[in-house]
Amino acid sequence: MNDIIKILEDKKIGKILENESIKKYNTYKLGGKAKLIIFPDNIDKLIELLAIIKEQNIKYKVIGKGSNLIFSDKDYDGILIRLDNLNKLEINDTKIVVGAGYSLVKLSLETAKLGLSGLEFASGIPGSVGGAIFMNAGAYKASISELVEEVKVIDEDLKVKTLKNNDLHFDYRKSLLQEKRNYICVEVTLNLQHGNVDEIKEKINKRRMRRMETQPLEYPCAGSVFRNPIDVPAGKLIEDANLKGKRIGGAMVSPKHANFIINYNNASAEDVYNLINFVKQEIKNQTGIELKEEQEFVNWE
């Protein structure tokens, strides 16, 4: 890996961290160490980095804010790429052009200040804009897909390609980027609407208060663990199964919100993994419904 570091340094790709704890880079606070975590300076440097990775046949993964990832406790024998420096923001009337590494919460608050409506639902989603596109993030019966005009990605040939909304196959917590894992979102164009600043801020504040009352934000977690089945929220199924407060090791089904699993006491990744599978099995046994994770397991192979 020293040879790779030398190449990356010579090409001035961006900040490079060696043998860095992954716990700092995901909201569950789980994981071992990554051989390298790299923060490319811009899109061109990201493409250069991907070309080197491809040429050297190195394992890699692009991650956002780590708010929907469950890392194993193993060391990651490869490169994790963070897009924090892809953080440009251009606002032209109601059209927003934003880098994939920009914070979704920050974008929601910045647009609210300008009286732009549409992203109020996102004010409590602690991910990146790119991650939101990947997952088609949503809350309060709204989702990012409703606002997307186009998305720029780096494709498998390391070319920048523009995809229109219809190209992205958006569905509930789904997008084309989940099918094409070698596509990397680098920039997003959104269309918002003019609104009343005070009304937008009031809506955001009310939702923040509601989250604080109903979600275990005081513990490391990654939001909703399971996608909602068509007929009933996953949280209600888990609560009705009397699984609130269920613990395995340092992981617990939140007593506040049954669709949250929290790292309440130095949980291992195995604790979280085993508790997720326990809940799935219990719900299947009791209701016949097979819950599907909204979160992604990383480095478990």
- Which regions of 26-134 does DSSP assign to beta strands (E)? 33-40, 60-63, 69-71, 76-82, 89-92, 95-99, 116-117
**Dihedral of the alpha carbons of 24, 27, 29, 30, in degrees to the nearest 10:** -110
List strands edge to edge, sheet with 184-191.
Answer: 89-92, 95-99, 184-191, 148-154, 160-164
Residue 138 CA to residue 148 CA, distance in Å, equals 13
How far CA 189 is from CA of 3, 148, 193, 269, in Å, comes to 38, 6, 14, 36
- Cβ atoms 86, 103 nearer than 8 A: no
SS3 46: helix
Cα 168–Cα 170–Cα 171 angle in degrees, nearest 5: 160
Strand partners, 81: 38, 62
Counting every residue written for the chain, the total comes to 301
What residues are annotated to the active site?
Answer: 173, 224, 294
Q: Distance of alpha carbon 195 from its chain centroid, rounded?
A: 28
Contact present, 67 and 27 (Cβ < 8 Å): yes
